[in-house]
Amino acid sequence: MTEGGVSQPLVSGKALVKRFGDFEAVRGIDIEVNQGEAFGFLGPNGAGKSSTMRMIACVSPRSDGDLRVLGMDPDIDGPRIRARIGVCPQQDNLDTELTVRENLQVYGRFFGLSRAQVREKAVELMEFAQLSDRANAEVESLSGGMKRRLTIARSLVNDPELLLLDEPTTGLDPQARHLLWDRLFRLKQRGVTLIITTHYMDEAEQLCDRLVVMDGGRIVAEGSPSALISRYSSREVLELRFAPGEQAGHEAKVEGLAERVEVLPDRLLLYTANGEAALEQVTARGVRPVSSLVRRSTLEDVFLRLTGRTLVD
Amino acid sequence: MRVLPPGLYAGQANKVIERSALVTRRHWVIVLSGLLEPVFYLLAIQVGFGVLVGTVIGPAGEPIPYEQFVAPALLGAAAMNGAIFETTYPIYFKLRFNKLYDAMLATPLGPYDVAIGEIGWATVRGSFYSLGFVAVMAAMGVLPSTWALLMVPVAALIAFAFASVGMALATYIQSPTQFDYISLVAIPLFLFSTTFYPLSVYPAELQWAVQLSPLYHGIELLRQCAHGVFDWAMFGHVAVLVGLAAVGVIATSRRIGAMLLR
Ligand SMILES: Nc1ncnc2c1ncn2[C@@H]1O[C@H](COP(=O)(O)OP(=O)(O)OP(=O)(O)O)[C@@H](O)[C@H]1O
Ligand SMILES: [Mg+2]
């Protein structure tokens, strides 16, 4: 992907638009993903993350703007691009008429792999998805998380250079999530470029070198997780928990004690450089929360600030 | 095959057929039982109609036994019905519920690979039945000539043509009750495509209507092959079926593209 010594972005979108009828799901976004990078899309439901992912995956033509994937135009070279990328869609679409093993083998055949290659690949990927003991099981008999793992494994069948994962870990238990992070990290070390959407901030912080926050079809922020935190949040956060409904009454009392205050259904969040100091002042003003907590700022706080929504609901 | 749009066809339709073959391997009993259908058909005509009707004027203008007249037509009708059956409900299900084609289109496969692969599989399966049908005809002694073996590729063409139209229609179906509309067309085609009596039976003013039926052209071809009677009119019949197949494949691919690549 180098031309004249300058490394080209693996994916580049300019003023990218997706319309469904009159509705604009993606409203002119610019993105660039570089070789070997792990790039994340964050955003509330309906932000346009999946619509963007589908355009990059060459299964949804762009309505406007420009898009290049692996240096090619999806409108012209769709099959050639798809041959070199792996896609894990938001919703599993496994072949319910086939077994676990057959799902991997048949999918590999679609990429032009030989029978011997897909046989070998299926064994390796079932190992990866920890489904070796279910090799001959019907897909319908798998649990939700197992299906998810199989879908992710299937996306690797062609040894993709670029892997698109739309909410890969939704429905996975904590152990499976950590395992997947580990596997994704190793893929990244091998030079595979990752594009991930997620609703889990810890996942984004762990995996992504760089991410964008989308809201209402637009990109509202962009940067590395730490840069976003320092730009959009304070160093520390003081959480004051109250009985449900009482938190709003205390809002006025804590005024001026923090750079910014967020009111959640059961909590007040005070954004400040020094959480302990703020807590002392809060107590001095006679505010008595049910419990309190001082913590580091996370992407979650950035998200809350930018989109006005919490993620875990 | 570079006549097809490059972005929409990856030349991998055979992989779609391979998948179907894998799925079908598990239902081989059902597949074999499908071979019984022609046996029933042929027994029914041999026992009943043959005795009652006697002879009919055949494609060469000579009287032929009724069984020999009707057997090729039943082969054609079975090819049509089988193709429609294979491509309507199963395709509707895979398209709307299974999301199978969504998964396929995320690979290098394009809508034309999906369409040609699925229609191709229906044709392969139909040809297998046709082969059985012809074998049964031979065993029962109603095979008029060795030319009759040509009926197998002709039946495959009939299957391809109707499978492609069936699949195109399946993409429009929104709920299972709408399958009745397809039967509403298939049944008159079955009955009035010179299946049971020759075109000359119809009043002259109605004969053109019969000739509109694609199955009529298929049945004429089959009869001519069965009796080894060849003429230029056959090119016309083939053209009708090839045309129908092309329209069906293009319509199917466009619909799949429009529905899934949004
Ligand atoms: N095929 C479609 N037809 C019409 N509207 C659509 C279609 N797909 C998506 N949309 C709309 O586009 C908007 C963005 O949807 P998208 O799936 O991209 O959101 P998302 O960011 O992935 O959300 P989520 O977090 O819920 O997955 C939504 O308002 C959705 O209703
Ligand atoms: Mg989504």
Same domain, A43 and A159: yes
List the single residue in B100, B105, B109 with the smallest CB-CB distance to A95.
Answer: B100
Same domain, A112 and A150: yes
Report yes or no on A46 lying in a domain.
yes
Same domain, A205 and A280: no
Residue A311's pLDDT is what?
A: 46
Find which of B16, B107, B118, B253 to mutate to test the A interface (most A CBs within 10 Å of its CB). B107
Q: What is the CATH number for A48? A: 3.40.50.300
Q: Are B189 and B158 in contact (CB under 8 A)?
A: no
**Any CB–CB contact under 8 A between A89 and chain B?**
yes
The contact set of B with A (CB < 8 A) is 6-7, 10, 12, 15, 18-19, 22-23, 98-100, 102-110, 260-262
pLDDT tens for A143-169 read 999 999 999 999 999 999 999 999 999
**Any CB–CB contact under 8 A between A83 and chain B?**
yes
**Mean pLDDT value across chain B:** 91
Q: pLDDT class for B53, splitting at 50, 70, 90?
A: confident
Same domain, A11 and A104: yes
Q: Are B83 and B163 in contact (CB under 8 A)?
A: yes
* A59 Cα–ligand 2 center, Å: 14
Burial of A39 (0-12, 13-18, 19+ CB in 10 A): buried
Q: What angle do CA A60, A66, A68 make, to 5 degrees?
A: 75
Same domain, A205 and A253: no
Index of the ligand 1 atom closest to the CA of residue A21: 4
Q: Is A1's pLDDT higher than 50?
A: no
A 270-289 residues inside an 8 A Cβ radius of B: none
Q: pLDDT class for A310, splitting at 50, 70, 90?
A: low
pLDDT tens for A86-124 read 999 999 999 999 999 999 999 999 999 999 999 999 999
Report yes or no on A305 lying in a domain.
no
Shortest Cα–Cα distance, A102 to chain B (Å): 9
Burial of A164 (0-12, 13-18, 19+ CB in 10 A): buried
The share of chain B scoring above pLDDT 70, in percent, equals 98
Query: For residue A273, which phi and psi values (nearest 5 degrees)?
Result: -75, -30
Render A246-280 in DSSP notation, one character per residue: -GGGGTGGGTTSSSEEEE-SSEEEEEES-HHHHHH
**Interface ipTM:** 0.91
Same domain, A193 and A85: yes
Report yes or no on A75 lying in a domain.
yes
Report yes or no on A308 lying in a domain.
no
Residue A292's pLDDT is what?
A: 93
Residues B106, A82: C-beta atoms closer than 8 Å: yes
Q: What is the CATH number for A238? A: 3.30.70
| A239: containing domain | 234-297
Same domain, A202 and A278: no
Same domain, A177 and A93: yes
A299 vs B250, more confident: B250
Question: B230 is written with which tokens?
Answer: 């060849």
Question: A64 is written with which tokens?
Answer: 């406007």
Whole-angstrom Cα Rg for chain A: 22
Q: Is B185's pLDDT higher than 60?
A: yes
Same domain, A48 and A117: yes
Residue A250's pLDDT is what?
A: 86
| Residues, CB-to-ion distance under 5 Å, ligand 2 | A 49-50, 90
Q: pLDDT class for B214, splitting at 50, 70, 90?
A: very high
Cα distances (angstroms) measured from residue A60 to each of A13, A17, A55, A69, B192:
14, 11, 5, 13, 44
List the single residue in A61, A82, A91 with the smallest CB-CB distance to B107.
Answer: A82
Report yes or no on A309 lying in a domain.
no
Domain count, chain A: 2
Cα pseudo-dihedral B230, B233, B234, B236, rounded to 10: 170
Residue nearest to atom 6 of ligand 1 (CA): A20
Same domain, A242 and A106: no
Residues A59, B109: C-beta atoms closer than 8 Å: no
Q: pLDDT class for B7, splitting at 50, 70, 90?
A: confident
Q: Is B3's pLDDT higher than 70?
A: no
Mean pLDDT of A299-305: 88
pLDDT tens for A186-199 read 999 999 999 999 99
pTM: 0.91
Q: Is A68's pLDDT higher than 60?
A: yes
Same domain, A220 and A240: no
Q: What angle do CA B174, A154, A225 make, to 5 degrees?
A: 100
Same domain, A207 and A242: no
Tell me which residue has tokens 């209402």: A216
Question: A171 is written with which tokens?
Answer: 């429905």
Q: Which residues contact B60 (CB under 8 A, 6 or more apart)?
A: B227, B229
